[in-house]
Amino acid sequence: MRGRRHFLMLLGTGAAALAVAASTSLSAPAMASTTPVTDTGTDLSGWTTVVGDGVYAAAGQTPVNDADITAEHRSTDSRLRANILNRGIMAHNITYKPVTDPSMMTLVHQASYSFQMPFVPSTAGGPRNAQTVEGGLFVWDGLNTRVDHGTAFQWLLNPWDANFGKIRVWTGSSWQAAGYLKPDTAWHQVSFLVDPSGQRVELSIDGTQISAPYSQTPKSGWGTEVSARLQAEAISLWPGSTATWGPQHEVLIKDWTWTRQ
């Protein structure tokens, strides 16, 4: 990947600032400590799916578009698919849940979900292969810093790549080596913590802590809202510069949770 992805339209317009107390002789009551808010789901129903920027089209292929990706929500899990038309392209599926509110920059965010590859990528080829599985938790501060704060991982799954199975983390400007996860068909769990006020993050896979920096990614052309998002991603195999066909990629996601306090 050459850089952190950007959406054509980030998350939409968020809520405005919190309403002020009515003008009376009584002062507004002191705020109690923030009550944690937790969202959960067995699949990603209600999330948004868009084309990310990890894309490529071989000579003669039309650019990657919405028809090349899909997310299928099946109650017990969701299946994120990329290059579903088997074109000579590399397609990038980003499926994300946004929460838009000015308070997002002041809260501590903890989230997790389970992911599974239903096949093991192989140099033997076939109808399915992969480039990466990725995921992250970010808070976009469009109101003040115009910086995307958070953390993300990338699992390298191109079987022809010498880094096959490596885990990388997002630094704010590039991907950085951080570990290894053997490609298999087991379920794995990723957990994130993002604390914008304290400028700290935590990232773990299957309970093993992964060293990850607090990433800050400046953006231009994004909105002026403050919005957090939890995201899961799949990038299909790079097909080669003259390809007329490419394999599909898919990853399963289930049992997500996101607490803000």
**Alpha-carbon distance 180 to 174, whole Å?**
18
Average pLDDT for 57-80: 98
What is the CATH architecture assignment of 37-260? Answer: Sandwich (2.60)
What is the structure's pLDDT at 34? Answer: 67
Average pLDDT for 167-186: 98
List, in sequence order, every residue forming a beta bridge with 147; answer none if it has no partner: 141, 218
Per-position DSSP letters for 140-159, written without gaps between them: EETTTT-EEEEEEEEEE--T
Query: 231 is written with which tokens?
Result: 């995201």
Asked if pLDDT for residue 30 goes beyond 70, the answer is no
What is the structure's pLDDT at 212? Answer: 98
198-254 tens-digit pLDDT: 999 999 999 999 999 999 999 999 999 999 999 999 999 999 999 999 999 999 999
Q: Is 106 exposed, middle or buried (0-12, 13-18, 19+ CB in 10 A)?
A: middle
Question: What is the pTM assigned to this prediction?
Answer: 0.88
Q: Which residue has the tokens 């000015």?
A: 102
- Vertex 74 angle, CA 73 and 76, to 5°: 115
Asked if pLDDT for residue 1 goes beyond 80, the answer is no
In one-letter notation, the amino acid at residue 2 is: R
**Alpha-carbon distance 173 to 169, whole Å?**
11
Asked if pLDDT for residue 155 goes beyond 50, the answer is yes
Please say whether the beta carbons of 44 and 92 come within 8 A. Answer: no
Query: 203 is written with which tokens?
Result: 């990232």
Please say whether the beta carbons of 194 and 203 come within 8 A. Answer: no
The residue with greater pLDDT, 37 or 5, is: 37
What is the structure's pLDDT at 205? Answer: 98
pLDDT band at 19 (very low <50, low <70, confident <90, very high): very low
Residues in the chain: 261
